[in-house]
Amino acid sequence: MRKGRFLLLFFITLSVFAQQEPNLSRYKTTNEKLKVWLKYTVALLDSEDYPKLIIASQKGIELSKNHAAYLSRFYLQQGIAYEFSNNQYQKALVDYEQSWKYARKVNHLKNETSALMRLNYIYYSVQDTVKGKSLVHYIKQVLDTTKSDYTKAVLNGSLAEYYQNNSNFENFISYQLKAIKYKKRLKKDATNDENIGVSYSQIAGSYLKMKQFNKVIEYLEYAKPYVTNSPYVTAFIYNYYIQCYVSLNKPEQAKKYYTLIYTLPTVKDSLFLNLSFANRSMSEHYINEHQINTAYNYAKKAVVFGQKSTDEEIIMEANTIMGRVLYEKKEYKNAIEILKKAAVKAVNYDKEFFVIINKKLSQSYAALGLWKEAFYYNEIYSKYNDEMMQESAKQSIANAEAHYQNKTKQQKIKTLSTENTIKNIQIGEAKKQRLFLILGLILVGIIGLLLFKQSQNRKKTNQKLQVLNQELDEANKIKARFFSILNHDLRSPVSNLIHFLHLQKESPELIDEATALRMQTKVISGAENLLSSMEDILLWSKGQMENFKPHLQKTPISVLFDETQKHFSGIENIQILFEDPENIILDTDENYLKTIIRNLTGNAIKALDKTTDGKIIWKAWNENNQTCLSITDNGPGGTQEQFKALYDDSEVIGIKSGLGLHLIRDLATAINCKIEVTSKPDSGTTFTIKFLK
């Protein structure tokens, strides 16, 4: 009997949800509805309520529409329901293929893993060997690329099942042991423990087929600790013990486990299935012992429990043992009747049983003298028995070949071991020589690296020197420019002061009192302007320093206007007006802007020196999301050439002081603003400061 249900444990959780159908109208989004409905179908799967699961899965498919992951899951569950509801394999196959398709569409590895596992079983069940081989090839590709221990555990187990179904027990055991290795890496829980126990029990089942009974018992002992909380799996293990001890002709040991099966709790039909299995094994033992009446009693129980289980395969096996017993009881007609029932789908479940059924049918008809029917069933028996013998022979040859190859390999290994000992000595010497060569190359490499690093450092030093030389050259240019400005802008006021002092000292009689007073006033004003210019020069020179940077802060324009008004309060004959209707506050350096305003105001005062009714107007306003300041005088104005110092770094000439314009330009640049000038002869001059965003 095949144990397809064992592998199903991998994707059926043990959690139990309420099985009451949820009211989807309570949920707003499709995603919420799908989650709730999936929980409901999982609960139906856990309870093995397959008729309801078919209906619920179909509704889930209709709900899912464009949700491929959910479609994959609902198709998978519907396939399980068909598979375990009277073995409706063709319907299950369609659903599993759909599940696989949608899982691949969204790269849902877990759903794909489950679909591949069930498809592998179904292709074997419907005898589709072409698709089965293709699927196995694909599964191996998945195993070569995946990093998921879960997928490796499930699909190695699925490959093991494929080789078991094809009686390739060596590959079956190899893949099953791999599956166990990956299962042990998964998170420890009851479900995973059961699966490890199932895998060990399946290996035991293979050794049972090969009649290696000590190995059967060994692997059943491995399995037992993992299934202590699973009556379902424990029952199968007890049945393996019964089969093993029946084959070893140890009926007392077999009866021990037969009795234990009756002590296990059950979930629905699982106990009936295992009780039928156990009674069939005991009946077979007593047939072999020619205790036909005892065998008949066990066979009756096997049939009754098989029918209660509703499992077609277990019913077929129970009917087969009953047919054998009836044949031994010489009730040939009854034997034929029940054996024909067993024969209906036997070939799909187990060829060995199909062969036994046809042999007993042939013998029963022969005993009745119905030679035509006897010959017919004997032909079927011979055909399938020959196929089984050929498969067995192929397997025996394969096993013998593998055994021979192993012996040959062992002999080669011994020969190669001797050769390897000699080669290892030679390799050891070669390694020493290679080590010395490598050390020499490393030493040469280190020297080369040091020379390279030295060359790189020299290049970097030269580059730094070149940069410093460029900076020095630039500093010299700035210094020359600075002294040029000093020479230009300080020479005139100092010269005037010295001229007046000489005149006063050497020819005082030439100066009357009014002239002296006027000249003193002029000298004082010149000295004050000189002092102001020197302060400007100092500030400008600081502007050339590397770390001399503006400090930005919130600065009200009204404060700067007030300070400027106080600073120039001694100016007579010139009216200075300040307009700031919007009470503008700028984010700028107060001292920089204050210096610019004073310089522009000072220049305007100088420009109005010979103008009667002189007027200076400072304005502040916002325009086009930009703050503007302007100073306008009604002086004689000038040409653009006279304001070239605002735009040309090499120019040193301003209206009255080239230094002032240079200073204004540099400070304005430092606080991110732009100065524009509008001036025409005899029309006055307007300087506009625009603060850039």
Task: Enter the DSSP assignment of 565.
Answer: H
Q: For residue 337, what pLDDT is reported? A: 94
Question: What one-character-per-residue DSSP string does 25-82 give?
Answer: GG--SHHHHHHHHHHHHHHHHHTT-HHHHHHHHHHHHHHHTT-HHHHHHHHHHHHHHH
Q: Nearest 10 degrees: CA dihedral of 577, 582, 585, 589?
A: -30
Number of C-alpha atoms within 13 angstroms, CB side, residue 363? 18
Residue ranges of domains in the chain: 38-136, 549-691
Element (H, E) at 587: strand 585-588
Residues 596/664, Cβ–Cβ less than 8 Å: yes
CATH superfamily of 38-136: Tetratricopeptide repeat domain (1.25.40.10)
Q: What phi, psi does 586 have (nearest 5°)?
A: -105, 150
Residues in the chain, pLDDT under 70: 1-19, 266-270, 391-421, 423, 474-493, 495-496, 500, 507, 509-511, 522-523, 525-530, 532-533, 535-548, 570, 648-660, 693
Q: Alpha-carbon distance 337 to 430, whole Å?
A: 81
Q: Which CATH number fits domain 549-691: 1.20.120.530, 3.40.190.10, 3.30.565.10, 3.40.50.10890?
A: 3.30.565.10
In this prediction the pTM is: 0.53
Q: For residue 72, what pLDDT is reported? A: 95
Q: For residue 7, what pLDDT is reported? A: 42
Tokens of 310: 């509703």
- For residue range 192-240, list pLDDT tens digits in order: 888 899 999 999 988 988 889 999 999 999 999 998 888 888 888 999 9
Q: For residue 222, what pLDDT is reported? A: 95
Helix residue spans in 507-573 (DSSP H)? 513-543, 557-567
Q: For residue 441, what pLDDT is reported? A: 83
Q: Alpha-carbon distance 220 to 182, whole Å?
A: 19
Query: Quick one: angle between helices 231-247 and 251-261, nearest 10?
Result: 160
